[in-house]
């Protein structure tokens, strides 16, 4: 059986219970305190004497933390509720600070108090139990909890905002399908999609073209292994403005872990670096192009670290030094030509100061061949102005050097030969000249200036003609201009006023000059002083003239005597003697003819052959001469084959001399034949005469020469035909001077036909 607690025992319970209890009367508005237990006294730092029998509101002053005394109102309300409703009423969590004993300070306290009515036997409320519980700890705890939740909320808000506004693209892809769980606007911009289009859908469904670019594999890898992946400058093809474009990303894939550590997706963080990559590529392209350009011109390049002495070189650099591949700097230095090392050291010293490196030096290749290299560079300095680096180029200039040397040699040779030429032109006893294509003189040598006394400038253009005596000037100028027009060889004889005060004879010659492309550039010519020759020629001509004259004088008297004697003998009837004298006269005629030829040649050569041109009947002259000549030969018959010819204007004597020459030659050179045919004909306003013989003929190679001075039949029969070899020369000169032509046709051994043609008088 259960133990029963005595009535007095409940008092003990009341006083020992840990809950604070105040028993209060219903005597509103006093609400007298009827009793108080120990726990209450302890909790409120009060004693029994100050409480029991007092009004509850008198015992406890107004709450110092409750300036508006809301607690009192609330307490009264709670008391009234409990009394009226006869059910407990609870006031929760209100603050009521309690004084700290021995001080005037208060301690913050929160309370939850229940007012429980106790009914009497009549069912009326006898008193009520006022039991406050100290909930300060609880309240404090709750406040802390609320504050931390608030802080968490703020933090989360901040994170979200950061996430959403982040300039990098961020997304969370969930599951094996990589459904977009979260995506920020930056990534949406990169994808050219709106968040609505992306959210809740598999990223590969929204961006089907990204499948197969390797991103799916990377995502799988991160999700399955939990190892993050970092990509830099990763290319991706994305739709931009309706077309697929290659863009570049730096990105990180991180596994997304659940609270329990399982991986449910991937967090992707991505930045587009297309511009940077493109810029980098542009720079790389530019560098590549530069490198190619440098290679293409055979430039070697180097990068010399002056602090470590380390040098990076290109293959071409190595090649120029005779190495197949780049070698350490010391190896390069070792192949410099000993004579050029000082120069190189000096250049490096200067480069440290001036910032520019430049020198040309020889390097010796493994095959001992010597090559020229041109080194150029720019010095770079550190913050302390200390040179730390040289960057530059290297060029093989062997060929240039060689060419330069060759050129210098050539120049030296040219200078030598120019000097030689100058000396020659100055020393030459010949005037030298040059003209341009218009005939203006552009050069004369010292010799010419010495002769004429005209200065260099005075001779230029047409100035030189002032040296010519006035009578010859026009003739010379016309001749030069006519040769210039025809671009033919120029030749003229003229007299100049020499500085010695006398007149000098000159013969000038010039050859037309052409460039390689055939354009005419003018003349180069010479001028020889022929005064001496002219004088000698004159003396010779004078001598021959006088000699011929002197020879003719005795011949004339002998011939006169001979003819008188012949006549006297004939008169006496001494025919035989007369005949002999007649033959003597014939020989005198031959002598006369020889003297005449000599004189004629002299005159032809000096241009003094005189012509007395007048009209005469050509056929009459021919008949007359044939008649005379027939008398000189018994062996040959001179056959006339003439047509009417009409009048010729010319020197009858001279033309007769030609006909006589041709017929006498025909007689002379056809000793075995018995006839000679003389033809005349008229054609194209020309009269021509041909003398045909049937004699020895002329060899084809000699045909051209028969009209030359002193030509004689050569060979076996040389001595069988007498003569000076002047007749045909004189004849051809006469015919030419009379404006006609002379020619010959012949067959060796069968005879010759000599012809000439003269213009008929119009």
Partner 1 sequence: MNETKTIMVVDDDPAILDAVCIMLEFEGYRVYCTPNGAEVLSMQGHLPDLLLLDIWMSGLDGRDICKQLKQNVSTRKLPVVLISASRDIEGSALAAGADDFLAKPFEIDDLLSKIEKNLAA
Residue 434 in contact with residue 443, Cβ under 8 Å?
A: yes
Residue 250 or 624: which CB sits closer to partner 1? 624
In the list 221, 592, 605, 709, the residue contacting partner 1 (rule: CB under 8 A) is 592
Q: Does 559 bind partner 1 (CB under 8 A)?
A: yes
> Least distance from C-beta 657 to partner 1, angstroms?
10
In the list 552, 649, 702, 712, the residue contacting partner 1 (rule: CB under 8 A) is 552
Residue 286 or 564: which CB sits closer to partner 1? 564
Residues 6 or more apart whose CB falls under 8 angstroms from that of 296 comprise: none
Task: Show the beta-strand stretches assigned E in 643-734.
Answer: 647-650, 675-683, 686-692
Q: Does 560 bind partner 1 (CB under 8 A)?
A: yes
> Least distance from C-beta 568 to partner 1, angstroms?
7
> Least distance from C-beta 579 to partner 1, angstroms?
16
Choose among 639, 631, 708, 717: nearest CA to 671.
717
Enumerate the β-bridge partners of residue 253.
229, 268
Burial of 401 (0-12, 13-18, 19+ CB in 10 A): middle
Residue 83 in contact with residue 76, Cβ under 8 Å?
A: no
Enumerate the β-bridge partners of residue 527.
431, 508
- Please give the Cα distance from 754 to 735 (Å, whole number): 13
Choose among 587, 596, 582, 592: nearest CA to 555.
592
> Least distance from C-beta 542 to partner 1, angstroms?
13
Residue 109 or 654: which CB sits closer to partner 1? 654
Q: Does 610 bind partner 1 (CB under 8 A)?
A: yes
Residue 387 or 656: which CB sits closer to partner 1? 656
Contact range with partner 1 by CB under 8 A, out of 35-43, 96-104, 609-617, 720-728: 609-617
Centroid of chain to Cα 574? 112
Q: Does 553 bind partner 1 (CB under 8 A)?
A: yes
In the list 103, 485, 612, 718, the residue contacting partner 1 (rule: CB under 8 A) is 612
Residue matched to tokens 């005629």: 589
DSSP-derived letter for residue 724 is -
Residues 6 or more apart whose CB falls under 8 angstroms from that of 557 comprise: none
Residue 55 in contact with residue 32, Cβ under 8 Å?
A: yes
In the list 563, 630, 632, 681, the residue contacting partner 1 (rule: CB under 8 A) is 563
Contact range with partner 1 by CB under 8 A, out of 179-187, 533-541, 546-554, 695-703: 546-554
Q: Does 660 bind partner 1 (CB under 8 A)?
A: no
In the list 56, 172, 609, 666, the residue contacting partner 1 (rule: CB under 8 A) is 609
In the list 226, 486, 554, 646, the residue contacting partner 1 (rule: CB under 8 A) is 554
- Please give the Cα distance from 449 to 431 (Å, whole number): 8
Residue 84 or 557: which CB sits closer to partner 1? 557
Choose among 508, 398, 396: nearest CA to 452.
508
> Least distance from C-beta 615 to partner 1, angstroms?
15
Choose among 654, 650, 626: nearest CA to 640.
626
Q: What distances in angstroms separate CA 489 from CA 108, 465, 476, 485, one per listed residue?
A: 141, 19, 14, 11
Q: What distances in angstroms separate CA 723 from CA 159, 419, 425, 744, one per listed residue?
A: 140, 54, 46, 19
> Least distance from C-beta 555 to partner 1, angstroms?
5
- Please give the Cα distance from 248 to 273 (Å, whole number): 5
**What phi and psi, each to the nearest 5 degrees, are found at residue 266?**
-135, 135
In the list 533, 557, 641, 714, the residue contacting partner 1 (rule: CB under 8 A) is 557
Q: What does the block give as tokens for 333? A: 């230095």
In the list 549, 572, 590, 705, the residue contacting partner 1 (rule: CB under 8 A) is 549
Q: Does 653 bind partner 1 (CB under 8 A)?
A: yes
Q: Does 649 bind partner 1 (CB under 8 A)?
A: no
Residue 666 or 730: which CB sits closer to partner 1? 730
In the list 77, 514, 543, 561, the residue contacting partner 1 (rule: CB under 8 A) is 561
Q: What does the block give as tokens for 495? A: 């007299």
Rg (CA), the chain: 73
Residue 511 or 557: which CB sits closer to partner 1? 557
> Least distance from C-beta 726 to partner 1, angstroms?
16
Residue 93 or 620: which CB sits closer to partner 1? 620
Residue 85 or 556: which CB sits closer to partner 1? 556
Contact range with partner 1 by CB under 8 A, out of 249-257, 268-276, 602-610, 729-737: 602-610
In the list 588, 642, 677, 724, the residue contacting partner 1 (rule: CB under 8 A) is 588
Do the bridges between strand 675-683 and strand 741-747 make them parallel or antiparallel, or are there none, so unpaired?
A: unpaired
In the list 567, 572, 590, 705, the residue contacting partner 1 (rule: CB under 8 A) is 567
Residue 15 or 582: which CB sits closer to partner 1? 582
Residue matched to tokens 């002999």: 580
Residue 221 or 592: which CB sits closer to partner 1? 592
In the list 18, 408, 556, 685, the residue contacting partner 1 (rule: CB under 8 A) is 556
Q: Does 307 bind partner 1 (CB under 8 A)?
A: no
- Please give the Cα distance from 22 to 531 (Å, whole number): 173
Residues 6 or more apart whose CB falls under 8 angstroms from that of 70 comprise: none
Choose among 381, 191, 369: nearest CA to 268.
191
Contact range with partner 1 by CB under 8 A, out of 331-339, 350-358, 456-464, 559-567: 559-567
Total of chain residues touching partner 1, rule CB under 8 A: 25
Residue 514 or 561: which CB sits closer to partner 1? 561
Q: What does the H/E/C string look like for 415-440? A: HHHHHHHHHHHHHCCEEEEEECCCCC
> Least distance from C-beta 465 to partner 1, angstroms?
33
Q: Does 399 bind partner 1 (CB under 8 A)?
A: no
> Least distance from C-beta 659 to partner 1, angstroms?
16
Contact range with partner 1 by CB under 8 A, out of 69-77, 469-477, 564-572, 689-697: 564-572
- Please give the Cα distance from 182 to 188 (Å, whole number): 11
- Please give the Cα distance from 320 to 376 (Å, whole number): 14
Burial of 605 (0-12, 13-18, 19+ CB in 10 A): middle
> Least distance from C-beta 612 to partner 1, angstroms?
5
> Least distance from C-beta 566 to partner 1, angstroms?
9
Helix locations, 297-396, DSSP H: 315-320, 329-334, 341-354
Residues 6 or more apart whose CB falls under 8 angstroms from that of 286 comprise: none
Enumerate the β-bridge partners of residue 240.
243
> Least distance from C-beta 587 to partner 1, angstroms?
12
**What phi and psi, each to the nearest 5 degrees, are found at residue 453?**
75, 5
Residue 523 in contact with residue 434, Cβ under 8 Å?
A: yes
Residue 440 or 613: which CB sits closer to partner 1? 613
239 three-class SS: strand
Contact range with partner 1 by CB under 8 A, out of 102-110, 138-146, 338-346, 548-556: 548-556
Q: Does 477 bind partner 1 (CB under 8 A)?
A: no
> Least distance from C-beta 739 to partner 1, angstroms?
19
The size of the chain, in residues, is 762
> Least distance from C-beta 574 to partner 1, angstroms?
15
Q: Does 542 bind partner 1 (CB under 8 A)?
A: no
> Least distance from C-beta 595 to partner 1, angstroms?
9
Residue 498 or 603: which CB sits closer to partner 1? 603
- Here's the x/- map for partner 1, 498-537, by CB under 8 A: it reads as ----------------------------------------
The site for partner 1 (CB under 8 A) is made up of 548-549, 552-561, 563-564, 567-568, 588, 592, 599, 603, 608-610, 612, 653
């Amino acid at each position: 059986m259960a133990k029963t607690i005595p009535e007095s025992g409940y008092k003990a319970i009341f006083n020992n219970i840990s809950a604070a209890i105040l028993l209060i009367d219903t005597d509103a508005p006093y609400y007298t305190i009827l009793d108080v237990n120990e726990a209450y006294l302890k909790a409120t730092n009060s004693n029994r004497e100050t409480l029991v029998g007092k009004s509850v509101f008198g015992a406890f002053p107004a709450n110092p933390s409750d300036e508006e005394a809301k607690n009192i109102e609330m307490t009264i309300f709670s008391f009234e509720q409990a009394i009226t409703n006869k059910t407990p009423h609870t006031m929760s969590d209100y603050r009521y600070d309690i004084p700290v004993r021995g001080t005037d300070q208060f301690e913050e306290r929160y309370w939850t108090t229940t007012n429980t009515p106790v009914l009497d036997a009549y069912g009326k409320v006898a008193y009520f139990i006022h039991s406050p519980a100290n909930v300060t700890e609880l309240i404090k705890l709750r406040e802390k909890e609320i504050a931390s939740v608030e802080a968490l909320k703020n933090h989360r808000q901040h994170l979200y905002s950061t996430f959403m506004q982040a300039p990098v693209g961020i997304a969370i892809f969930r599951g094996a399908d990589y459904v977009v769980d979260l995506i920020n606007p930056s990534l949406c911009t990169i994808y050219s999609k709106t968040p609505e289009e992306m959210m809740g859908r598999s990223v590969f469904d929204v961006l089907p073209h990204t499948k197969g670019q390797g991103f799916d594999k990377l995502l799988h890898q991160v999700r399955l292994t939990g190892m993050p992946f970092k990509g830099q400058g990763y290319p991706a093809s994305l739709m931009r403005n309706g077309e697929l474009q290659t863009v570049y990303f730096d990105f990180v894939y991180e596994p997304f872990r659940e609270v329990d550590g399982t991986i449910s997706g991937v967090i992707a963080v991505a930045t587009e670096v297309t511009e940077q990559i493109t810029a980098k590529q542009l720079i790389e392209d530019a560098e590549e192009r530069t490198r190619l350009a440098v290679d293409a011109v055979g430039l070697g390049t180097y990068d010399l670290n002056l602090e470590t002495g380390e040098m990076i070189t290109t293959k071409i650099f190595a090649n120029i030094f005779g190495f197949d591949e780049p070698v350490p700097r010391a190896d390069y230095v070792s192949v410099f030509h000993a004579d050029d090392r000082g120069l190189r050291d000096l250049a490096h010293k200067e480069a440290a100061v001036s910032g520019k490196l430049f020198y040309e030096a020889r390097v010796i290749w493994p095959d001992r061949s010597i090559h020229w290299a041109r080194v150029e560079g720019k010095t770079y300095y550190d913050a302390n102005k200390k040179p730390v680096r040289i960057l530059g180029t290297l060029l093989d200039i062997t060929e240039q050097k060689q060419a330069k040397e060759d050129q210098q040699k050539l120049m030296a040779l040219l200078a030598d030969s120019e000097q030689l030429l100058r000396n020659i032109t100055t020393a030459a006893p010949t005037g030298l000249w040059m003209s341009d294509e218009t005939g203006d003189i552009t050069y004369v040598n010292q010799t010419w200036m010495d002769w004429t006394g005209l200065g260099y400038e005075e001779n230029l253009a047409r100035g030189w003609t002032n040296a010519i005596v006035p009578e010859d000037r026009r003739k010379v100028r016309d001749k030069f201009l006519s040769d210039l027009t025809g671009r033919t060889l120029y030749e003229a004889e003229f007299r100049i006023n020499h500085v010695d005060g006398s007149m000098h004879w000159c013969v000038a010659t010039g050859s037309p000059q052409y460039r390689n492309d055939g354009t005419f550039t003018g003349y180069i010519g010479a001028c020889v002083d022929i005064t001496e020759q002219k004088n000698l020629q004159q003396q010779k001509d004078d001598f021959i003239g006088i000699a011929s004259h002197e020879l003719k004088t005795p011949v004339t008297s002998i011939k006169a005597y001979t003819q008188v004697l012949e006549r006297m003998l004939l008169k006496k009837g001494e025919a035989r003697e007369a005949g002999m004298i007649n033959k003597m006269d014939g020989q005198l005629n031959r002598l006369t003819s020889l003297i005449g030829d000599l004189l004629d040649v002299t005159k032809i050569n000096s241009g003094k052959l005189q012509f007395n041109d007048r009209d005469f009947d050509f056929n009459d002259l021919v008949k007359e001469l044939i008649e005379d000549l027939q008398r000189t030969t018994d062996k040959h018959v001179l056959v006339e084959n003439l047509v009417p010819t009409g009048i010729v204007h010319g020197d009858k004597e001279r033309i007769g001399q030609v006909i006589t020459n041709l017929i006498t030659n025909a007689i002379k050179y056809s000793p075995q034949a018995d006839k000679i045919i003389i033809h005349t004909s008229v054609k194209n306003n020309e009269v021509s005469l041909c003398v045909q013989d049937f004699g020895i003929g002329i060899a084809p190679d000699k045909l051209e020469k028969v009209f030359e001075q002193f030509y004689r039949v050569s060979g076996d029969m040389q001595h069988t035909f007498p003569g000076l070899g002047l007749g045909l020369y004189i004849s051809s000169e006469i015919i030419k001077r009379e404006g006609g032509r002379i020619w010959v046709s012949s067959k060796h051994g069968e005879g010759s036909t000599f012809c000439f043609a003269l213009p008929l008088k119009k």
